[in-house]
C-alpha cells in the first residue's frame, strides 16, 4: 500500500520546484487545507483508498513526463515547459477534492455466507461542473492557465468524458489539433490508472 505522507511531501516538492506562476502559492495552500492528500482517486476503481488521489496525480506526472519525452524524440521542434507538464498532471483531477465521502455497504462473505458491513465511498458531487471543466475552474480560481494546459485538463478523460459519450467529439478533436498535450495526458492518465495503481 502507498505511503500517503511521503506522497504528500513528494507532491509538494514537485509542485514548488516546477509551478511558480502568480497564484501558485495560494493554490498549494488551498490544497494543503483541503482533503486532496487523503481523498481517494475513485469510488471503486484505481486508487479507491485514502491518499489515492495524490498517488494517482504523482503517477500521472511521471507518466506524462515520459510520454512528452517520447513525443519530443519524434518531433524535436516541439517545446513545452516543465511548469505546464506539472500543472496538467498534478492538477488534472482537482475536481475530485471532496468528491467521495466514506460510507458503508453490505457485502456477502462467500466463505461464511454471512452479510458483513464494508467501508466504501459514496459519490458526493457538490461542484456540479463536470470533470475536466471542474478542475480547470478550481485552478483558475487561483492562477491563470495557458490555453494548452486548460485544453489538456479539460479533455484528459478522453473517450470516458461524458461530453464525448454524449456525442460531442468535435471539441476534443479541436483541442487535440491545438496541442499534443491533450492526447499525451489522456495516455498518461490511462497508463497510470491501468498499469501502476492498485484497486482495493
Q: Which residues, in sequence order, are CB contacts of 5 under 8 Å at separation 6+?
A: none
Q: Which three cell numbers stand for residue 37?
A: 492528500
Say if residue 30's pLDDT is above 90.
yes
Using one digit for the tens of pLDDT, what is the confidence trace for 110-140?
888 889 887 777 888 888 888 899 999 999 9
In a domain, 73, yes or no: yes
Provide the pLDDT confidence category of residue 104 given band limits of 50, 70 and 90.
confident
User: What is the model's pLDDT at position 128?
Assistant: 86
In a domain, 180, yes or no: yes
Residue 43's nearest CA partner among 102, 97, 94 is: 102
In a domain, 176, yes or no: yes
Q: Which residues, in sequence order, are CB contacts of 16 under 8 Å at separation 6+?
A: 28
Provide, rounded to the nearest whole percent, the portion of the chain with pLDDT above 70: 100
State how many domains the chain has.
1
Which structural domain range is residue 150 located in? 4-99+132-194
Mean pLDDT confidence for 170-187: 96
pTM summary value: 0.90
Mean pLDDT confidence for 17-31: 98
Task: Kindly list the distances between the CA atom of residue 178 and the CA atoms of 54, 152, 159, in Å, as whole numbers in the listed order.
Answer: 28, 10, 18
- CA 155 to CA 181: how far, in whole Å? 10
User: What is the model's pLDDT at position 1?
Assistant: 63
- CA 101 to CA 120: how far, in whole Å? 8
Amino acid at each position: 500500500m502507498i505511503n500517503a505522507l511521503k506522497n504528500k511531501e513528494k507532491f509538494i516538492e514537485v509542485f514548488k520546484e516546477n509551478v511558480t506562476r502568480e497564484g501558485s502559492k495560494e493554490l498549494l495552500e488551498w490544497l494543503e487545507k483541503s482533503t486532496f492528500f487523503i481523498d481517494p482517486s475513485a469510488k471503486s476503481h484505481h486508487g479507491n483508498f485514502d491518499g489515492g488521489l495524490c498517488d494517482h496525480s504523482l503517477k500521472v506526472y511521471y507518466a506524462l513526463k515520459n510520454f512528452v519525452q517520447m513525443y519530443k524524440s519524434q518531433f524535436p521542434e516541439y517545446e513545452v515547459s516543465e511548469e505546464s507538464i506539472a500543472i496538467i498532471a498534478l492538477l488534472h483531477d482537482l475536481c475530485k477534492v471532496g468528491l467521495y465521502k466514506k460510507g458503508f455497504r453490505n457485502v456477502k462473505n462467500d466463505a461464511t455466507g454471512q452479510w458483513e458491513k464494508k467501508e466504501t465511498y459514496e459519490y458526493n458531487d457538490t461542484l456540479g461542473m463536470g470533470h475536466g471543466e471542474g478542475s480547470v475552474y478550481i485552478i483558475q480560481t487561483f492562477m491563470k492557465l495557458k490555453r494548452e494546459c486548460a485544453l489538456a485538463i479539460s479533455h484528459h478523460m478522453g473517450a470516458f468524458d461524458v461530453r464525448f459519450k454524449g456525442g460531442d467529439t468535435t471539441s476534443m478533436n479541436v483541442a487535440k489539433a491545438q496541442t499534443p498535450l491533450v492526447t499525451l495526458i489522456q495516455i498518461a492518465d490511462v497508463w497510470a490508472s491501468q498499469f501502476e495503481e492498485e484497486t482495493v
